Structure formats: structure tokens, C-alpha cells
Amino acid sequence: MAKFSVSDLDVKGLRVLMRVDFNVPLENGRVANDKRLRAAIPTIQLILNRGGRLILMSHLGRPKGKNVPDLSLKPCADALSVLLEKPVAFAGDCIGPVAQKAVDALGSGQVLLLENLRFHKEETDNEENFSRELASLGDVYVNDAFGTAHRAHASTEGVTHFLSPCAMGLLVEKELTYLGDALDSPKRPFVAILGGAKISGKIDVISALLPKVDKLIIGGGMAYTFFKAKGLEIGNSLVEPDKVDLARSLLDQGKDKIVLPVDCLCSDIFDFGARKVGALTPVPVEHIPKNGNGLDIGPATIDAFGKIIMTAKTIVWNGPMGVFEIAATAAGTTAVAKAMAAATKKGAITVIGGGDSAAAVEKAGLADQMTHISTGGGASLEFLEGKVLPGVAALTDR
């Protein structure tokens, strides 16, 4: 979309109301992982360097409209202050006299973080008066929270009715560029890799990607519904019985494009809650035993998928290849991450669609070897489905 960018704005002396995604893990009152804070730094620095008076707003966790002290954004203000090497003011509310007083005290080149938006239920309700109150704190609006761009909330969509111009931040711009280019003008061969537990969560993505890709690799728990559709024994493996006919239809549509695992790691014991699996045996997908649980792709599949990845020029990946939360069944996901890192080195454009895939790449220590890792799992998934993201659509057209 040709939307206004923060780079287009002259913000000197203006109050810049900016939505960020500081939904970070906290431990003992401190930020445990500052990745999302660091992702917002380029836009923050740009605005401060241009003399803007920056007001940041975010949600954290799910307080459901109540003031939950453990979900305060104060630790984020402290952590951001360290990253910026300058003070970050904090307001104990995001609207009302407390917020207004903190905004009034802001000088050019200074930054303020408002308290958790979701302490007010009106945020997720996209309530008009709440949106108007938020908007009254700024002169212009910037959205740099791609992770919430698929939600029409007060801070992502509502405020845009009361402020102008409304621009995308550098992070949102980067996300739209990489995801958009991958879908609209990919270097070929274009390979998509989809995994995760259930086919139901990826139906729209598969349907949207099939006409665009050269190959569509499917792994993870959702593969077993496809095996069932082919009439194979899948034992106790994850399956969605009501999606078998749909899987069969997708296989017919994508018979020259869809690539399924050829073998899997099976165990007769699997307790996800206790993070416990029995002895793992690689078996061809045609020979999954009646008491078997397919928990990861096998060595032959790792080899086959790796060869396809290494021939690709554009690769988009969303969803793990197995139960990657357990070390014993994470090998397939890690192998795909390594193959993508090698493909990047060869010049391929590699885009990780957030969520579990991003977590797996981080866990494997390969994050810096990918072209782009999306900061929004749900948002990137909806973008891949071809859906309009409300938080982007609401921004001012260039």
C-alpha cells in the first residue's frame, strides 16, 4: 500500500503519538527480552533526531480492562532508557489528566511512554471516545506496531479518525516491503514452507499461496491430515477429521506444487504437558504404526526439503516442522532454519513469518542469518492470506 511513511513527516516541535509493540516478557519486574524494544529504535531515533516530542503507547499482556500492576509498562520505560541512553518519561495512565500532564512536560527530542493501553477495555473495543482521548495527546500519528496491525483497536485504527497525517513507522514499512515483495514480485523459484499443528489455521494461507508459489512445503502436525486424505495410516498422530476432505481438495489443486514429508519421527509415548516422548524411530509415512505418534519430520524429509530450499530464490516460512518445544523433536525445525540460513548466504530472500518460526530461528541462533524476521505472527499470517490489515489500511495515503 502506498501509505505515508514517518520519513515523509516534518515533526519538529510536534507531539508524535506512536503505537509500538512492547508486549514483552517480564521477569521480576524487568524486561526479560528486549527484542521488540530494539525493533522500534530506528523510528524512535528518527523522530527524536528531527525534534519531535514523542509519545509512545503499547499494550502488554491481557489485563482485560483492569489495572494489573504486574503488567505495567514501567519496566519497558526503564529498559528503553538504557537502549536510548537518555531518560524515558513514564505516565501512570494512557489518557486523562495524568497522561496530559506528562505530555505537556515533554520538550522537543524527548520521549514519554504511556501506561498499558489494555488497562482500559475501550482499547480493544475500539471505543470512539477513548480513541478521541488518545488522539488528543498528539499532533500526528505513527504506527510502528506491525504485530497488532491486524487488529482494529483504538490505538491502531480508532485514533486515525482524529489525527492527520497518520504514517507507518520504519518497522511497519520494512515488514510490508519484505512480505509484499515476496508475494507480489518474488525472485523465482518461490518456495513457501508451512508448518504448525493444525491445517485449520493455515487453510487461507495455503489457498492464497498456491497460485503464487513454485513449491509449497508442508510439515508439522498439519501434514498428518494430508496423509489421512491420501488414505494412509497415521496412528495416534494429530489430525483434524473434519478437514480431511479439504486437504484432499488442496492436494488435487496443488498436485504439482505441494510437497509433503516422506518420513517422520514416531514414538508410542507422547505427553506434551510433561514434555515427555518415548524412543523415536524414523519411519516412512506409508508405515506409521497404529500406536505411533508422528512428532517431527524424519532424516529423508530433512534432506528432501533442504534440496528444495537450496534451489529457491525467495522463501517464506511460517510454522514449525514438529513439536519444536521439546528438544528431541526439534531437529526438523532446526534443520529447516539451517537450510534457510545457507540459502540466504547463497543470495536467496528469506522471510520468517513471525510466531513459532521466529522463536525457532532465535533458538537456533540463526536470526541474524535471515533476510527478514517478521515481528508479527498473526499479522504476517493475515498478510500472507491476502487480508487487509486494519492498522495499515487506516493510515494516510501518500
Active-site residue numbers? 36, 198, 355, 378
The residues, any chain, with a CB within 8 Å of residue 192's CB and separated by 6 or more, are 209, 213, 215, 216, 217, 315, 316, 317, 318
End-to-end CA distance of the chain: 9
Answer yes or no: are the C-beta atoms of 199 and 228 closer than 8 Å.
Answer: no
Question: Distances from the Cα of 359 to the Cαs of 41, 58, 123, 126, in angstroms?
Answer: 21, 21, 28, 30
Cα three-residue angle 22-91-102, rounded to 5 degrees: 125
Return the amino acid letter for 57: M
Residue type, 323: V
**Bridge partners, residue 277, by sequence:** 270
118 within 8 A of 61, measured Cβ to Cβ: yes
Are residues 278 and 268 in contact, defined by beta-carbon separation less than 8 angstroms?
A: yes
CA torsion angle 205 118 167 352 (round to 10): -30
Residue 228 sits at the vertex; the CA angle it makes with 226 and 230, to the nearest 5 degrees, is 75
Peptide bond into 186 cis (omega under 30): no
Q: What DSSP string runs through 379-396?
A: HHHHHHTTPPPHHHHTSP
